[in-house]
Structure 1
């Protein structure tokens, strides 16, 4: 009898574990990195597969899909692969002779969590990057003053900081080297991270992996929504958007990256503006174990119906609340898609954390007999 009871307990525990396992969604190793490693096992890996792996890992980091420790672990793998293809590809890009094409050169680089800095202005990047915005609470006057104080401590004139990066004075650019000595004072402890940079094929310059990820994602999801001024569905012009994003990922044309970056910059400005309105107008509604926001009266409805930008907005708001001293909770955003007469709902739990909103959304839809299209986590 004792053995039977013990066996039943074990079976029930196993069933509960299985249910719990499949109830949660989370990101594992980047599939792009795994593909590169598998290609290496059969001697088929190339700088192109390595670059794809770098973008896959960077995408997970930029969009907060994995923990920092997971990202660091994957970066270490990438850096070891990098030295195999580019023996001199250290963080400063220095070294002796090499036998690879300058057009395909990839190097590791210490990057700043300032979105699209090389293609924007320093001031805009500071005021629109999620990490700095949430840490300094730039939606408040005190936060904006802190950003000005940061520039003053670096010795960078505000007028120069408002110039496009490529037109900034070299002295102002070099002043950013002082950041490690003052970031702790502003609570920006993780402002630096290990990233990667690659040369363009048809242009004397380079782009960071993070810039490429943001540009490609913007093209894939938003298309020409800003220029056309109309609703853009995810299923619309998929092939065209795919090939535009492909050109960006491969860095085949500088003009393709420029288009993607302009779109990414506009979407980032929109995201920060919407987040500031939500926070200033106190639109966040507590609901027991989570918080949510209804974007019913947003002026940017044509853009704020896309899952990726809504996820980024949710993570921004979640980080902003945490930096304000509010205990962290899962966050849900609901946005009306009036053209297709539906609601787009996104739920986030935090960087790299297990997410069971998919299970909960399905259960809620079944309860109210709603039609549910579940297409991501």
Structure 2
């Protein structure tokens, strides 16, 4: 059941109750939970937060805590699986689901008793009608047959069976059409900020978390640029409302958010300009910076902008102030000549007193790297808590650690992409391209995590398309596999599939394809992640699994 009024149908119902908050391991989900926790603390609502990475985590958390609560809030998890069927909850337990994963499970949508869905569907999202997927006379027919109320072969019964078979075929087709693509809805953090605003409990800090959640969706290509611009316009209105005082009227240590044009370069304020351009997906793939020709082209660009190479190779904060101030306008003036037309995008930055300014982009890279920390001594829960801390504006040391981690992650991705291209390891399998991170690769520890693996896949595909002579490469999706070095089991790999670069809409068909290929071959595959385009697979089953995918997608 969809909730239309978050305040009345959600927040007023849970006020004064104990809440179990299950939060998915993604930046948007953690930002949404931070906003919700802030509201809970304001109204003295008791709550327990449990980070959730897989379906098994969801089941375990439910079994451990369900007896203590009657209301469970799920952030960015659970919306795409039949919760009642999976968890078998007691009749008096209610789930509130705020999940940006799509498509939402049909049973969740039409369960009016126990499931309350808080996210809004987009205009283009169509849900099958109740009568097309559920039959209210089903139990009657079964009881009639079992009780022998009518002869088994009379004409009326045969006609009903024929009609039912036709309805089941149609139902199967409707459900397949509805579930064949996985994609993402609007940011959950933005949804939670909207609730805070309606409760008159919004602040700059809560708004910043909503901005970071929205930016993460853009950087992860979970939303289209046009939709991002529409949400940005709304967020800009909130920024103007909460930051309307002139700078000289505010206290020096006041938190301040500004709306501005931002360069699509990773962490450039905390790195050197050359390193940032080399390790940013957009600039690296546009200029082909892994080649000698690309490196020469970068030097030409910097020379035409009037930026000395020595200045660009040192840390950004050490660059000449006049060059820093003119950097955006200089890049914009040369963007068309070098094909960097989208180097600038609308974004936000935050500052407090005399501390450094951080952009929403910086926060996304830093928090994503903290979330997938390669430190073996840290558990997944430790990483989750680090991200939660880094989003608190006063705890800059944790954020700065995340920035350093992110640099290492981006360097590892760049080296791996260069290896793929130099060794011609991006291979066409007919209906898709595939690449494999070889076991024993030093950087494999970075890629054994969903977000970093997805970023590697997108970087690899765009880099391959940039150098490929085949026009067909633009219309081919990519599957990438890597050893799962973080798994306790040996001989397990992670498989990630992404759509082709020619697709403007970020819809992904690999979730359904992986499921069918695993069923067809009997492969040892774990379809555990809420992002269904990523699975765990036994290395021994990889070749037959890929053969099944080729026959399915041909």
Question: What is residue 386 of structure 2 aligned with on the other side?
Answer: 244
Give the 3 Å change call, closer, same or farther, for CA 102–43 of structure 1 in structure 2: same
Looking at structure 1, the residues matched to 169 and 249 of structure 2 have their Cα atoms a distance apart, in angstroms, of: 61
| Post-superposition CA distance 1:153-184 (Å, at most 9, x none) | 11111111011011111232234122221100
Question: Of 443, 448, 458, which residue of structure 2 is paired with 1:315?
Answer: 458
Q: How does 1:163-312 map to 2 (within 5 A)?
A: 163-176=314-327, 177-200=329-352, 204-224=355-375, 237-297=379-439, 298-312=441-455
Deviation at 1:337, TM superposition (A): 2.4
- Contact 1:284 1:292 (8 Å CA) reproduced: yes
Looking at structure 1, the residues matched to 323 and 261 of structure 2 have their Cα atoms a distance apart, in angstroms, of: 18
Q: Secondary structure at the match of 2:391?
A: helix
Q: Which moved more, 1:110-119 or 1:66-75?
A: 66-75
Question: What is residue 374 of structure 1 aligned with on the other side?
Answer: 528
| Post-superposition CA distance 1:67-89 (Å, at most 9, x none) | 1112111111111111121126x
Higher normalized contact order (CA 8 Å, seq sep 6+, divided by chain length)? 1
Question: What is residue 218 of structure 2 aligned with on the other side?
Answer: 61
Q: Which moved more, 1:284-293 or 1:109-118?
A: 284-293
Give the 3 Å change call, closer, same or farther, for CA 11–277 of structure 1 in structure 2: same
Looking at structure 2, the residues matched to 60 and 373 of structure 1 have their Cα atoms a distance apart, in angstroms, of: 23
Question: What is residue 356 of structure 1 aligned with on the other side?
Answer: 509
Deviation at 1:11, TM superposition (A): 8.3
| Post-superposition CA distance 1:8-52 (Å, at most 9, x none) | 989866652332222211111101001111222222222222111
- Contact 2:370 2:402 (8 Å CA) reproduced: yes
Question: What is residue 340 of structure 1 aligned with on the other side?
Answer: 489
**Does residue 177 of structure 2 align to residue 26 of structure 1?**
no
Deviation at 1:98, TM superposition (A): 4.5
Looking at structure 2, the residues matched to 73 and 140 of structure 1 have their Cα atoms a distance apart, in angstroms, of: 37
Question: What is residue 114 of structure 1 aligned with on the other side?
Answer: 265
Structure 1: gaps spanning 5 or more residues: 89-94, 229-235
Question: Of 278, 293, 302, which residue of structure 2 is paired with 1:142?
Answer: 293
Question: What is residue 145 of structure 2 aligned with on the other side?
Answer: none
Q: Secondary structure at the match of 1:219?
A: helix
- Contact 1:213 1:249 (8 Å CA) reproduced: no
| Post-superposition CA distance 1:211-258 (Å, at most 9, x none) | 011111101112426xx7xxxxxxx61232122111211222221111
Give the 3 Å change call, closer, same or farther, for CA 223–305 of structure 1 in structure 2: closer
Give the 3 Å change call, closer, same or farther, for CA 150–10 of structure 1 in structure 2: farther
What count of residue pairs does the alignment treat as equivalent?
A: 358
- Contact 2:420 2:426 (8 Å CA) reproduced: yes
Q: Which moved more, 1:274-283 or 1:5-14?
A: 5-14
Looking at structure 1, the residues matched to 170 and 244 of structure 2 have their Cα atoms a distance apart, in angstroms, of: 51
What TM-score, normalized to structure 2?
A: 0.61
Structure 2: gaps spanning 5 or more residues: 1-159, 532-554
Q: Secondary structure at the match of 2:283?
A: helix
- Contact 2:221 2:506 (8 Å CA) reproduced: no
Deviation at 1:364, TM superposition (A): 1.8
Looking at structure 2, the residues matched to 257 and 80 of structure 1 have their Cα atoms a distance apart, in angstroms, of: 27
What TM-score, normalized to structure 1?
A: 0.88
Deviation at 1:304, TM superposition (A): 2.1
Question: Aligned-pair RMSD on alpha carbons?
Answer: 2.5
Looking at structure 1, the residues matched to 419 and 426 of structure 2 have their Cα atoms a distance apart, in angstroms, of: 11
Looking at structure 1, the residues matched to 413 and 403 of structure 2 have their Cα atoms a distance apart, in angstroms, of: 15
Looking at structure 2, the residues matched to 161 and 106 of structure 1 have their Cα atoms a distance apart, in angstroms, of: 27
Q: Secondary structure at the match of 1:105?
A: strand
**Does residue 79 of structure 2 align to residue 79 of structure 1?**
no
